[in-house]
Structure 1
Amino acid sequence: MEKEEILKKALSGDIRSFQTLFAEFQHPLKSYLYRLLTDRNDVDDLTHDTFIRAFDKISTFQQESSLKTWVFKIATNLAYDHLRKLKRWPADAQDQGARLAIGTPDIQQSFRIVHQTSGAGAYDMKEHIDFCFTCISKTLPIENQVALILKDVYDFPVKDICLILEKTEGVIKHLLHHSRDTMTDIFDHRCALINKNGICDQCSQLNGIFNPKQNQQEQRMKLELVKESGKFDRAALFALRTTLIKAIDPLHSPGTDLQDIIMRCTRTAIADVGDFFEPANSHAK
């Protein structure tokens, strides 16, 4: 059946047709929500709520944008309602998480168990760079974070981001400029991969813990980000980060379970959640 015919049936209230269309972008929608929310349980809940809300309102879809953009707008609004109840993350959130893990043997053991027993418990430096990007992006105001991730990670055109955030093109471009500058300033100060004076070398440290037989410098030099860092072109380095991150699905990667438990520890450390040992969903399917 042609896509136009499926959409026509969906618009008339056929839920199976809507499910077919929704499934085409469900994976990027969930990974987008994870980058915003950093919690698998919340992602599952909001994905379900987005589906229900979108199907209930499908008769109002005027096709001024793609269905994907329209659904992402609904998901973004739901995420915004959730996130505005929480505080923005500090730039040292990962440091706080590391201190909690180092000072809590049970948490350290939980990391080791996931690494040793999970099929998605591998450690890869590239995935941790993605983790770091997510943590740093959560220091931004919500609208800035949304605009940045939609444009630089999911390649949404500015005109679609205008529709999603209900802002003018000038405002969206300002949000993007400010967000990139803020992120770059934090990376300049923190990241030891691109700046020898950076205060954070968590990527290499964790790689050394979970992959002790690997040559750490060799692993670092495999990254284009590290190779180009000597030139220290801020815009180019940020673009290299986003290129790397686009290739990673935080919910479907070899190390997603390990990164998720590290994220859960980080959220606990900054009091964004309660008990670290509350049950979390297993690896997303």
Structure 2
Amino acid sequence: MENQETFNKALNADINSFQILFAGFQAQLKSYLYRLLADRTYTEDLMHDTFIRAYDKIATFKQDSSLKTWVFTIATNLAYDHLKKLKRWPADAQDQGAFLAINNPEVGQVFRVVHQTSSTGAYEIKEHIDFCFTCISKTLPIENQVTLILKDIYDFPIKEICHILNKTEGVIKHLLNDARKLMSGIFENRCALINKNGVCDQCSQLNGIFNPKQDQQEQRMKLKLVKEAGKKNQEELYILRANLVKAIDPLNSTGTDLQDSILRCTRTAIGELKNI
């Protein structure tokens, strides 16, 4: 709960007090926007716009939710306005990215430079699973994507998500169930980490490139997701993935820069960016 004195000052447009309260959830908000947008520049722009708009409209805050939820509502609306101008990602977006990287030496060179020179250019399979989760979530309709990420990654209660999306509880539960089923189905058909018939083995392929001395099977078996693959159904495997993703900040990890470069390659391949 916000400090009452600071909260009261913020409601009276004291910018220092508002900054203090905003800072309490700033990192989470930023990573949330990045997961939705998959674009660092737009994430920074929307963070700035969200802060300005929330501060300017603080007098309209009715306190029928937490301040955090109210600010997330503003940020979500801004993200929605941007995302609705773009096409949903195809399920094979990562395949298209891999094809571009393999057939364009300049793209591969970008990856190598980032890996060799950036302090956050390391490669870990678990961080690539986070990347994969972001890519698959972007195949969903926007409201499903928002609902799933808010609930399963940021632990927002259904009631708060209703407030953010201005939907009834029944609608939010429907959006969430549909999103989970769609995500689980795509993962089942694609992920070779947990299904030998999966079409995507990008995690292990990249691990072999950036960590050539590491045993790929050893790295796989460190993940609970892989250990439990033969014992769990689609729904349970989705929960394991979500829990792994929840523990990772995509903007502050050992491989942030490398994964962002791979993400930019994917966006270039599907036509969302002109070049990497």
TM-score class, shorter-chain normalisation, is over 0.9
- How far residue 235 of structure 1 moved from its aligned partner, in angstroms, is 1.5
Matched AA of 2:224:
E
Cα distance in 2 for partners of 1:186, 1:63 equals: 39
User: 2:98 — aligned with what?
Assistant: 98
Cα distance in 1 for partners of 2:270, 2:207 equals: 23
Cα distance in 2 for partners of 1:224, 1:42 equals: 33
Give a deviation string over 1:225-247, Cα, whole Å, max 9, x none. 00000013111111100110011
User: 1:283 — aligned with what?
Assistant: none
- How far residue 146 of structure 1 moved from its aligned partner, in angstroms, is 0.1
Cα distance in 1 for partners of 2:67, 2:208 equals: 44
Matched AA of 1:213:
K
The correspondence of residues 20-31 of structure 1 with structure 2, limited to 5 A, is 20-31=20-31
Matched AA of 2:260:
D
The correspondence of residues 258-277 of structure 1 with structure 2, limited to 5 A, is 258-276=258-276
Asked whether 1:182 is paired with 2:182, we answer yes
Give a deviation string over 1:223-276, Cα, whole Å, max 9, x none. 000000001311111110011001100000000000000000000000012222
User: 1:160 — aligned with what?
Assistant: 160
- How far residue 125 of structure 1 moved from its aligned partner, in angstroms, is 0.2
The correspondence of residues 27-66 of structure 1 with structure 2, limited to 5 A, is 27-66=27-66
The correspondence of residues 1-285 of structure 1 with structure 2, limited to 5 A, is 3-276=3-276
TM-score by length of 2: 0.99
SS of residue matched to 1:252: coil
Give a deviation string over 1:50-82, Cα, whole Å, max 9, x none. 000000100011111110000000000000000
SS of residue matched to 2:200: coil
Runs of 4+ in 1 over 3 A off after TM superposition: none
SS of residue matched to 2:249: coil
Matched AA of 1:210:
F
Cα distance in 1 for partners of 2:153, 2:275 equals: 31
Matched AA of 1:14:
D
Matched AA of 2:63:
Q
Matched AA of 1:147:
T
SS of residue matched to 1:89: coil
Is the contact between residue 194 and residue 232 of structure 1 (CA under 8 Å) also seen in structure 2?
no
- How far residue 197 of structure 1 moved from its aligned partner, in angstroms, is 0.5
In structure 2, the gaps of 5 or more residues are none
Q: How big is the alpha-carbon RMSD for the aligned residues of Structure 1 and Structure 2?
A: 0.7
Cα distance in 1 for partners of 2:210, 2:275 equals: 25
Cα distance in 2 for partners of 1:193, 1:101 equals: 21
TM-score by length of 1: 0.96
Cα distance in 2 for partners of 1:121, 1:59 equals: 43
Cα distance in 2 for partners of 1:87, 1:232 equals: 33
Cα distance in 1 for partners of 2:175, 2:100 equals: 33
The percentage of counterpart residues that share the same residue type is: 73
Cα distance in 2 for partners of 1:108, 1:239 equals: 33
- When the two structures are aligned, how many residues end up with a matched partner? 275
Cα distance in 2 for partners of 1:196, 1:224 equals: 17
